[in-house]
């Protein structure tokens, strides 16, 4: 997978705006389209932009807090309708399983390209000159250790609900590291901020699009390149007995929906398929929210106002 700020409204939130009667009459159903919200800023922005566009087209929108992977149970049954961000890096397996049932549909790419991997600040290369090669990690385990993990190195992973197979990767690559999962996205990057200010050792999960690459200098660890066989065939790679002896996949961020959306709300279905936004646009909005302290809904409203020609194209106006 805010991955930097938790919602003040932690559960289902119904969002509506004053819509003209004529606009309401044009939509195929007045039942709410349920869009899922997760626990990282970018996904909240993506979803709120899409929700605002659908509202402007006359649709009734409901935002529902849901787990990133477990949401597929609701998408299969139609209790949930749209998830705006499934990352190739961590969500591909769950997405493929769901779409194979025919109950969930892949609505295409968001326009954003995802990277999620182990990351370190540039100043750490002085203490571990073999970086970014993953094979240097064991030589520098004590450099990355803490009193709680010594002599093992410490890797600060993402919240466990994000997936990513970091615990399996450590075991498969025989890394002398303990994976410590951050409780929240905010905690993850608060620790990076603290370490960076002190030039203290830190090795952690960083993802893009995100503001971290704007604010900090650093690099991702270069693991053996991901292949599908690495995750599915233990005999592949350096460890012939275990899978996940490689890095995470990289690629698009996808949109998915309950398969019934195209029949019940065909106009909304088309608009969601048309949605696209760039990494740079998203990173800029995330930075406004997480670094400048701007209200998320205000940032979304500004984008919607400034990009009216773009989103009207999505809804065919």
In tens, the pLDDT along 68-119 reads: 999 999 999 999 999 999 999 888 889 999 999 999 999 999 999 999 999 9
Are residues 133 and 103 both part of a single domain? no
> In whole angstroms, what is the distance from residue 113 CA to residue 111 CA?
7
DSSP, res 32: P
The domain tally of the chain equals 2
Are residues 154 and 165 both part of a single domain? yes
Mean pLDDT, the chain, whole residue set: 91
Query: In this structure, is residue 5 part of a structural domain?
Result: no
Query: In this structure, is residue 246 part of a structural domain?
Result: no
Looking at per-residue pLDDT, the higher value among 213 and 247 belongs to 247
**CATH code of residue 154:** 3.40.190.100
**Mean pLDDT across 116-141:** 96
**CATH code of residue 297:** 3.40.190.10
Calculate what percentage of the chain has a pLDDT beyond 70: 92
Are residues 207 and 223 both part of a single domain? yes
Calculate what percentage of the chain has a pLDDT beyond 90: 84
Query: In this structure, is residue 240 part of a structural domain?
Result: no
Are residues 227 and 118 both part of a single domain? yes
Are residues 89 and 130 both part of a single domain? no
Are residues 82 and 149 both part of a single domain? no
**Mean pLDDT across 231-237:** 93
The angle subtended at Cα 41 by Cα 36 and Cα 44, nearest 5°, is 30
Query: In this structure, is residue 1 part of a structural domain?
Result: no
**Mean pLDDT across 249-263:** 96
Neighbouring-strand partners of residue 37: 65
What tens digit of pLDDT does each residue of 306-317 get?
999 999 999 987
pLDDT of residue 90: 87
Range of the domain at 154: 114-232
pLDDT of residue 89: 87
Query: In this structure, is residue 194 part of a structural domain?
Result: yes
């Amino acid at each position: 997978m805010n991955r930097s700020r938790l919602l003040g409204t932690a559960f289902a939130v119904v969002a509506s705006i004053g819509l003209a009667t004529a606009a309401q009459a044009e939509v195929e159903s007045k039942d709410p389209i349920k869009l899922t919200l997760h626990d990282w800023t970018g996904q909240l922005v993506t979803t709120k932009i899409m929700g605002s566009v659908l509202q402007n087209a006359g649709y009734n929108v409901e935002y529902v807090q849901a787990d990133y992977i477990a949401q597929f149970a609701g998408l299969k049954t139609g209790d949930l309708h749209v998830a705006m961000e499934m990352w190739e890096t961590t969500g591909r397996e769950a997405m493929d399983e769901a779409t194979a049932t025919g109950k969930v549909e892949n609505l295409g790419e968001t326009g954003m390209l995802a990277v999620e991997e182990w990351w370190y600040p540039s100043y750490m290369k002085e203490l571990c000159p073999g970086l970014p090669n993953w094979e240097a990690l064991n030589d520098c385990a004590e450099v990355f250790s803490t009193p709680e993990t010594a002599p093992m190195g410490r890797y600060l992973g993402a919240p466990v609900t994000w997936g990513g197979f970091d615990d399996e990767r450590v075991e498969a690559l025989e890394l002398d590291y303990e994976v410590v999962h951050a409780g929240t996205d905010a905690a993850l990057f608060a620790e990076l901020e603290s370490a960076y200010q002190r030039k203290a050792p830190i090795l952690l999960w960083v993802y893009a699009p995100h503001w971290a690459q704007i604010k900090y200098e650093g690099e991702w660890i270069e693991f053996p390149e991901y292949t599908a066989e690495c995750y599915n065939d233990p005999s592949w790679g350096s460890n012939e007995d275990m899978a996940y002896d490689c890095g995470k996949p990289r690629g698009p961020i996808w949109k998915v929906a309950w398969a019934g959306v195209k029949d019940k709300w065909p106009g909304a279905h088309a608009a969601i398929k048309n949605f696209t936004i760039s990494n740079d646009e998203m990173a800029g909005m995330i930075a406004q929210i997480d670094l400048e302290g701007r209200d998320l809904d205000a940032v979304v409203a500004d984008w919607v106002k400034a990009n009216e020609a773009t989103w009207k194209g999505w809804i065919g106006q």
